[in-house]
Amino acid sequence: MSHSRDSYLSAALGIAWRSLHNVFSNPALLIPALVFPLFFLAAFAGGLSAVSEVPNFDYPAGYTTFIFGFVLLQASALGGVFTGFSIAADFQFGMGRRMLLATRRRTSILLGYALTAAVRVLLTWTVVTVVALLGGMAIGGDPAEIAGLYLLSLTVNVAALLFAAGIALRLRTLQAGPLMQFPIFMLLFMSPVYVPQALLTGWVSHAAAINPMTLILNTNRELLAGEPAEIAATYGVALGLMALLAVWAVTGMRRAEAAG
């Protein structure tokens, strides 16, 4: 039993090590995941700060913090998607087949990629958080709230990875990249990106009301500002998404296995 668990973890760690080595030795893979969140932070916090003067814009921690809540969510989600690209490449060029032959339990492959995504996003969080703090971000939350914020972001990262993995494993080609990226991008932007939810108008206000990202984004911002947040509901939604998408990814793995 213990031997089986050791070999499961050993396979996951081996896959994670290989993927991380690929990422950290290739700037073309590493840099976009770092640059995109920084770009959005600078463009939105710098270019839209006057939006905080809109009547009823009620967020005491300031606009940079407000936007940081979105950028953290986006960095976490896109970090998972970028690892999905690695899965697609591995299965397109034959490495995936070797992994399937070498592991007894296929979920260890997914665990390996999830560890990769987590390490990658940890680096992105560090860079984005430092830049935001240097740029004047105010944090009102206590250490427990900030820990809760990053833990929530980790669940988003894993959920996005599982979503992307399900597509990558079914299509097994890098050309599936837009299919992994675009739905996440749409979900992110159909939430209260620029203004609080109460100030949204038109179709986006209706879309945001049923978009699970809205609850996560609102909670991100409340935790950052140290305001009361719907923590239990948000974690419930995030973990529920993760469970659903785990099924999607595992069935994708079975498809990849069946395809040979």
For 130, other C-beta atoms within 10 Å of its C-beta total 10
Interaction between residue 59 and another protein (CB under 8 A): no
Contact 237, 215 (CB under 8 A): yes
Among 1, 2, 55, 228, binds another protein (CB under 8 A): 55
Half-sphere exposure of 244 (CA within 13 A, CB side): 9
Interface of this chain with another protein, residues 2 to 41, rule: CB under 8 A: 28, 32, 35-36, 39
Among 186, 233, 243, 244, binds another protein (CB under 8 A): 186
Minimum Å gap between C-beta 187 and another protein is 11
Q: Does 204 bind another protein (CB under 8 A)?
A: yes
Which residue among 1, 104, 203, 260 contacts another protein (CB under 8 A)?
203
Distance, in Å, from the CA atom of 130 to the CA atom of 134, rounded to the nearest integer, reads 6
Residue with tokens 């999607």: 248
Give burial (CB, 10 Å; 0-12/13-18/19+) of 52.
middle
Cβ 50 to another protein shortest distance, Å: 5
Contact between 66 and another protein per CB under 8 A: no
Q: Does 107 contact another protein by CB under 8 A?
A: no
Q: Which is nearer to another protein, 1 or 203 (CB)?
A: 203
Q: Quickly list DSSP for 102-147.
A: H-SSTHHHHHHHHHHHHHHHHHHHHHHHHHHHHTT----S-HHHHH
Q: Residue 47 interacts with another protein (CB under 8 A)?
A: yes
Question: Should residue 202 be labelled a site residue for another protein when binding is judged by CB under 8 A?
Answer: yes
Find the angle CA(235)-CA(149)-CA(246) to the nearest 5 degrees: 45
Q: Which of 115, 190, 217, 223 binds another protein (CB under 8 A)?
A: 190
Kindly list the residues in this chain that would bind another protein in the complex (CB under 8 A).
28, 32, 35-36, 39, 42-43, 45-51, 53-55, 57, 186, 189-190, 192-195, 199-205
